[in-house]
Amino acid sequence: TPIEETLVLVKPDGVARNLTGEILRRIEAKGYSLVDLKLLQADRELLAEHYAEHEGKPFYEPLIEFMESGPIVAMRVAGNRVIEGFRVLAGTTDPTTAAPGSIRGDFGRDWGLSVQQNLVHGSDSPESAARELALWFS
Ligand code: DAT
Ligand code: MG
């Protein structure tokens, strides 16, 4: 299998809580390679493109507002089956039920904040990865 690349985002909650290093540590410990990285404040246009599949859902607006609320760390990460593998490192979407040992399971907070504050994003398929990497690292 050819080496894959995926887009990882440390969302505004992850950056604000100083978890960027811990998240990158886990990515590197798993054997994946960092190809590119930047800290940026995402604008609405970028976020609307990024989350186009969720437009019209009840959580869409709060999600975009949250993603606009502070700096994001975007990473291009490479490795064998990294798209699927990073999703396992991240854990399932809802931090309450994400497995312990995963990023969301270990650091997701359970004091009443929304599901959207789940620390990281990872592309969910080769098609998504190609689309999202072009968007964030054009
Ligand atoms: P993931 O980030 O695990 O790929 P997703 O693509 O289905 O999840 O949704 C994108 C983000 O939207 C997710 O990280 C958090 C938020 N979200 C998803 N489902 C939600 C829900 N039911 N309520 C609130 N936020 C939600
Ligand atoms: Mg997704």
- Tell me, what's the ipTM? 0.97
> Does residue 64 have a pLDDT over 70?
yes
pLDDT digits (tens, 9 = 90+) for 8-50: 999 999 999 999 999 999 999 999 999 999 999 999 999 999 9
- Residue 120 contacts residue 105 (beta carbons within 8 Å): no
For a mutational test of ligand 1's pocket, the pick from 103, 104, 116, i.e. the residue with the most ligand atoms closer than 8 A to its C-beta, is 116
Alpha-carbon gap, residue 13 to 39, rounded angstroms: 13
* Structure tokens, 138: 């054009």
pTM value? Answer: 0.96
> Does residue 113 have a pLDDT over 80?
no
- State the catalytic residue, choosing from 121, 122, 129, 132: 121
The CA angle 94-38-21, to the nearest 5 degrees, is 55
